[in-house]
Copies of this chain bind each other. A is one copy, B any other.
Amino acid sequence: MTLEALETTQNFALFRQHAVRRIEAVLQSLLPDEHILPARLHGAMRYSTLGGGKRIRPLLVYATGLCLDLAPEKLDRPAAALEMIHAYSLVHDDLPAMDNDDLRRGLPTCHKAYDEATAILVGDGLQAQAFVALSEPDWGVDPQWQVRMLAALALAAGSRGMVGGQAIDLAAVGHELALPALEQMHLHKTGMLIRCAIQLALCAAGVEENSEQGGMLLQYADRVGLAFQVQDDILDEIGDLQQTGKAQQGADRSRNKPSFITLLGLKEAQNYAQRLLEEALAALQSWQHEADHLRALARLIVERNK
């Protein structure tokens, strides 16, 4: 897992393996040790963050860094902060009052492995820890850009971002949404955090969002974010039990949640995901091979089967 490997490898499978190992090690070091009091809480925070997951957001951060000629050590904290926010959101989403899921990636969800009160606190603690990771005063990035990273993360994670999307999602159960409203929900729920992965890499490189590079990469992010959710709905429809690791197939539909499938049908949703993929790739036109891993990631997201 050398830095050179991350920077130079042309092989996406190898890049992915290295980056996933790297973020795992970074998370290991940035999460409080489970010997630190309160030990049970810290153990539960580690249980909910380490050892699994596709690490899509960190992969996006590292792959964007290659387009911006950034060393991966400038991206470790942003990648880890995003993953902690993502992990906390899963812990809270799984709670009985929310999606009430017992299994996640084939393992007991946090409130099942521990208890409900602990799971609430794990989510709360992971959110704070994301901001601990990103606000390290001795990190060595320009503090003006560091403040902008923190602002981007807070906005993407909060009520006008991920948490807001979750609230819109809950309110939408049993309702039919038109395509713009459904896209608005997903823009909040998953799109903002995926966009944030690119924003954080731009900040780490000192590149403005409204620059030509910034605009193109954010356009990529928005298409990929939406494609991610369309594919999620497709998988929920066709994915088999073992591959998704969820306890119940078609769970969303059975609870009468609006989805791209109920709205477009399976075939049209698959076409839509392909179109979004093409638009994401088009946004990367001005890059040569430096953007190959971002291209492969977009394909991975649309063609994933779990």
Contact = CB atoms under 8 A, between A and B. Distances in A.
A151 interface: yes
Contacts of A137: 144, 147-148, 151
Interface in A213-263: none
Interface stretch (A13-21, A159-167, A264-272): A159-167
Nearest to A129: B158
Interface stretch (A31-39, A58-66, A283-291): A31-39
A160 B136 CA distance: 15
Interface in A125-174: 125, 127-129, 131-132, 135-137, 143-144, 146-148, 150-151, 153-155, 157-161, 163-164, 166-168, 170-171
Contacts of A150: 131, 135, 147, 150
A38 B144 contact: no
Nearest to A165: B38
Contacts of A127: 124, 127-128
A32 B129 contact: no
B120 A97 contact: yes
A40 interface: yes
B116 A163 contact: no
Contacts of A144: 137, 143
Given A135-B154, A151-B137, A163-B121, A116 B128 contact: no
A236 to B, nearest CB: 20
Given A125-B167, A129-B154, A147-B147, 8 more contacts: A40-B167, A121-B163, A127-B127, A128-B157, A128-B161, A129-B158, A135-B154, A137-B148
15 contacts: A32-B160, A40-B167, A40-B171, A41-B164, A41-B167, A97-B120, A123-B124, A124-B124, A128-B157, A128-B161, A129-B154, A131-B150, A131-B153, A132-B154, A137-B144
Closest 3 pairs (CB-CB, A-B): A128-B158, A125-B159, A131-B154
